[in-house]
Structure 1
Amino acid sequence: MTHTQFFIRFDGWYEFLSTLLLLPPSACYVSISGDLVEVRMGWAFSARVPRTAITSVAPLRKSPLSRGVHGFAGRWLVNGSGRGILTLDLKPAQRGSVMGFPVRLRELQVSVEDPDGLVAALSAPLTASP
């Protein structure tokens, strides 16, 4: 089974701050393994969703001022930078966890170091396991 990992993009100042908050960039990633997509931002956010629940992936055209994990009513932003943000639409809604509390995910925006690579990986056809 193929396993691909994309690290969350961090601005230099936020990388320093998040490391102080025990959210080092090495613990912040999007991982694709078979039909499963996992998004982690250390202890602050986690979600595991099937690729088939991701109905669209598109770049975010505006740059948010905030960094970290923010959300409301099923729309969540997980970012360490205002650049490289992709919006993943999820249908049906999926479950995630913010600081250990369950949340509903309809839309997930995540900043990644290689947005084009993540789009390509999510767009690749699923291969059947032998």
Structure 2
Amino acid sequence: MPRPHPVLRVLLLLLFVRPRVEVSRQVLVVTLGWSFRVAVPRGAIQAVDSVPWRRHSIGAHGWRGRWLVNTTPGPLVRIRVEPATTGRVLGVPVRIRELTLSIDDVAAFLTDLR
């Protein structure tokens, strides 16, 4: 994930919210500290695309299986997940079928996932 604005970075540190995206051969793990976590099996990733728009919000936001997890307005990538997987928001299980993330190096991230 990209580095947030310095003021926001301090706020995230005070709240113990450390954003992380980890890609391995088996799984994509996205965490926003204690507030959001999902582990998407690589086999469940159906499509990965860069997103041409920016969102001026910060955090984990979702509804009906579509989630935005970001620490900056962009750049963003969208990951379609099938079958849907289970993540956790504030400890509560949520269904995730689409995940949009803020990513520093979109080209490298897309290459890693494909």
Q: Same-fold call, TM > 0.5?
A: yes
Q: Is 2:14 the partner of 1:16?
A: no
Q: Is 2:32 the partner of 1:48?
A: no
Structure 1 gap ranges (5+): 1-7, 124-130
* Kept after mapping to 2: 8 A contact 1:67/1:81: yes
* 3-state SS of paired residue (1:17): helix
* Kept after mapping to 2: 8 A contact 1:45/1:69: yes
User: Once superposed, which parts of structure 1, at least 4 consecutive aligned residues long, lie more than 4 Å away?
Assistant: none
Matched residues, number: 113
List aligned pairs for 1:32-111, cutoff 5 A: 32-111=23-102
Output the TM-score relative to the length of structure 2: 0.92
Structure number with larger C-alpha Rg: 1
Output the TM-score relative to the length of structure 1: 0.81
RMSD (CA atoms): 1.2
- % identity of equivalent residues: 35
Structure 2 gap ranges (5+): none
CA shift in 2, pair 1:106/1:115, >3 Å: same
Partner Cα separation in structure 2 for residue 22 and residue 39 of structure 1: 15
* 3-state SS of paired residue (1:110): strand
